[in-house]
Amino acid sequence: MNAIVLASGSPRRAELLDQIGVRFKVMRPDIDESVGKNETAIPYVERMSRSKYQSIRAVEGNNRVSDEDIVLCADTIVILDDRILGKPKNQQDGILMLEILSDKAHRVVTSVTIGQYSQLNSFFVETIVKFRILKKGESAAYWLTEEPQDKAGGYAIQGVGSIFVESISGSYSNVVGLPLMETSRALEKFGLSSLRAP
């Protein structure tokens, strides 16, 4: 059976693939995640996903992936008023992110790229998340849990950060880091299914 390579260092994405019974190995892509000058959110997240794919395909030596291997890459961003909210740089940045998300709806977009041989499938999924009003001191207290420190937008919906979420429209798993319904459908095009007929 051909190997699936998850090109991500995110433990959340690994847990999501485990959840639907997909077997895979992990490789960490090496890319520059800087936003380009005048680059808007959707082109940026799509470029990140494709760059991760290209990074893994370019690996040489013992760690090289074969043409038969299916490489799965994803990148997730949080967008508020067309502004990309990445991972917090420090405590001050993390607290500020939460304060500007307070009582507002924001978009979470994940771009997924899956490829094997010359076949390449890319798509993105968008979810709308609405935060309640955050009380004074909550942002700072949340930072001290250490949960938001490596999360786009400075929060984790699957963790303590869920207490801030008033509503969600769209894919929950997309907000965690990988839209499972759409990803499983895409994998079916490569001959892989989470459900096998008895």
Candidates 38, 41, 161; CA nearest to 172 is 161
Distance CA 104, CA 36 (A): 26
Inter-residue contact 46 to 95 (CB < 8 Å): no
| 103 classed as catalytic | no
3-state secondary structure 25-85: EEECCCCCCCCCCCCCHHHHHHHHHHHHHHHHHCCCHHHCCCCCCEEEEEEEEEEECCEEE
Please identify which of the residues 18, 69, 75, 81 carries the catalytic annotation: 75
Q: Which residues are catalytic?
A: 75
